[in-house]
Amino acid sequence: MADMRLIVAGAGGRMGRTLTRVIAETPGAVLTGALEAPGSELLGQDAGVLAGLPANGIKVSADLWSLSAEADGILDFTVPRATIANVAIAAERGLVHVIGTTGLSASDDAVIKSVTSRAVVVKSGNMSLGVNLLAALVKRAAQSLDPSFDIEILEMHHKGKIDAPSGTALMLGEAAAAGRGVTLEDHSARGRDGVTGARRAGDIGFASLRGGTAAGDHSVIFAGPSERLTLSHHAEDRAIFAHGALKAALWAHGKKPGLYSMADVLGLGDI
Amino acid sequence: MRLIVAGAGGRMGRALTWAIAETPDVVLAGALVSPGSALLGQDAGVLAGLPANGIKLSADLRTLSAEADGILDFAVPRATIANVAIAAEHGLVHVIGTTGLSASDDAVIESFASNTVIVKSGNMSLGVNLLAALVKRVAQTLDPSFDIEILEMHHKGKIDAPSGTALMLGEAAAAGRKLKLDKQSARGRDGVTGARRTGDIGFASLRGGTAAGDHSVIFAGPSERLTLSHLAEDRMLFAHGVLKAALWAHGRKPGLYTMIDVLGVA
């Protein structure tokens, strides 16, 4: 098959530039368009140079309709308003639309879903292959191990992070709760400090560490009688989200219309 | 569930007696040793460091079987092969953790699986078996841009490397990748090894202290790593796995099962 021709939306942003670099090093994918908002001061600049690469002749444009004529897919890690504007054009032009935009409202989600009867959309709040795979494994292990195994979730992030536990830690907690057939909100232990009393059977515990520049480490510990199983993910940098988006695009190329997730891309349905 | 412990005077037999005493839904109904054992007639509870429980060590499996639902067998191959026929005849669940069985021993065991329930595994730890199943699935799912490395640590008395369990995990990874471990492994790296060969499964071994057995399988990909680890605190975990297998097997239809079946992680 010919290389998949891809447009990067938000090409001037941090994630857009990472996507441009990852496309350049990924076999089977080629950059054919770089999209920015109308009025952006980056319009007309070379996307390769913006990404810290040699010039590649792809000039930043605000005209998705024209770019679509020479493309098979669009990688979209932007803001909700831009993504919603892109989704109709992408569907009309038959592009695979990979959406990593966060902060989408329920009505945004409804708009996206409405086009998936005729277009291929892959959408996930976390495009990391490893984290999505980890969540599937956690669910599977929680199903397999009886309640004599206590479940604890430990995460570490950079010192600038303002909330705890991380969204990904909670996602892993939801996966564990789903595997156990319980609801997380009724079965979690957070922020232990002081005389907590003994551990409550069936709880899923959370602990958070903060420091340095850690991009994100997560461990899910199944602590049973005389043994412990630990499933961990360590993110080295944000390129993992770009790698996941590329993998999603290549997987979705030629699929029948529908709304897909990273679990579909990874074939995690039967883990 | 009424259980007989075979090899009741051995280290594993005593651990099983101990685990049965603390596990709901199971009860010790018999303690088996070989004919001529110096332990015949002794109390199984006392031998296991518990209060006396009235179960006297016996060499007569046929008689013990009349009052039992299953037998837990961590004996030697010859004893296990002798037990398998009697267990089948009496409809006992037979949980076999005996190691060193030959191909012909395995054939004998399999021949009885058409009329009795047998669970057999070289590693009865729940966690290690689950780990192996997860490793296989992850190796299937992640493309070859993820390098697979296996790290293990054991006590300072261990004389070989890598551990049998590390190799079992390597086999699971190789099965997931659909490659042959003997052609695609990197062991004992030292000196100018050259760059890592694509597709290899790497092994590294640490030795020290009293570590009962730690294993990690690392999937190292572009900018991220997934690590699946198991830590054994002590040998009681094997006994817990055995009891879980026995309870699972109680009432199943005849067949030869593994810990993978018990855990439902095939």
Least-confidence region, from A85-89, A214-218, B37-41, B44-48: A214-218
| Shortest CA distance from A244: residue in chain B | B222
Instruction: Give the pLDDT confidence score for residue B210 in this predicted structure.
Output: 84
Instruction: Give the pLDDT confidence score for residue B212 in this predicted structure.
Output: 83
Instruction: Give the pLDDT confidence score for residue B38 in this predicted structure.
Output: 95
Separation CA A154–CA A205 (nearest Å): 8
Q: Which residues of B touch A143 (CB under 8 A)?
A: 264
Q: Which of B125, B221, B230 is the closest to A130 by Cβ?
A: B221
**Which neighbouring-strand residues pair with B57?**
B31
Q: Which of A38, A247, A233, A35 is nearest to A131 (CA)?
A: A233
Residue A52 neighbours by CB distance under 10 Å: 10
Q: Which of residues 223-252 of B touch A (CB under 8 A)?
A: 223-237, 240, 244
Q: Residue with structure tokens 């296989």?
A: B136
Question: The whole model's pTM is what?
Answer: 0.74
Instruction: Report the sign of the C-alpha dihedral through residues B238, B239, B243, B244, in that order.
Output: negative
ipTM over 0.90: no
**What confidence category does residue A271 fall into, taking pLDDT thresholds of 50, 70 and 90?**
low
In the structure, how many helices (H) and strands (E) does chain B have? 9, 12
Residue A222 in contact with residue A204, Cβ under 8 Å?
Answer: no
The predicted-structure confidence for B6-17, as pLDDT tens digits, reads as follows 999 988 899 999
* Catalytic residue numbers of B, as ranges: 154, 158
Q: Which of B162, B153, B157, B158 is nearest to B232 (CA)?
A: B153
Instruction: Give the pLDDT confidence score for residue A182 in this predicted structure.
Output: 97
Residue B135 neighbours by CB distance under 10 Å: 26
The predicted-structure confidence for A226-253, as pLDDT tens digits, reads as follows 899 999 999 998 788 899 999 999 999 9
A74 has a pLDDT exceeding 90: yes
Q: Does A157 qualify as catalytic in the annotation?
A: yes
B265 has a pLDDT exceeding 70: no
Q: Which of A266, A246, A268, A189 is nearest to A19 (CA)?
A: A246
The predicted-structure confidence for A145-160, as pLDDT tens digits, reads as follows 989 999 999 999 988 8
Q: Is the peptide bond before B35 cis (omega within 30 degrees of 0)?
A: no
Q: Which two tokens stand for residue A48?
A: 């390769």
Contact A231 B232 (CB under 8 A): no
Separation CA B45–CA B126 (nearest Å): 25
The predicted-structure confidence for B63-120, as pLDDT tens digits, reads as follows 999 999 999 998 889 999 999 999 999 999 999 988 778 889 999 999 999 989 999 9
Q: Is the peptide bond before A225 cis (omega within 30 degrees of 0)?
A: no
Separation CA A178–CA A263 (nearest Å): 15
The predicted-structure confidence for A82-99, as pLDDT tens digits, reads as follows 999 999 999 999 999 999
Instruction: Give the pLDDT confidence score for residue B75 in this predicted structure.
Output: 86
Contact B134 A137 (CB under 8 A): yes
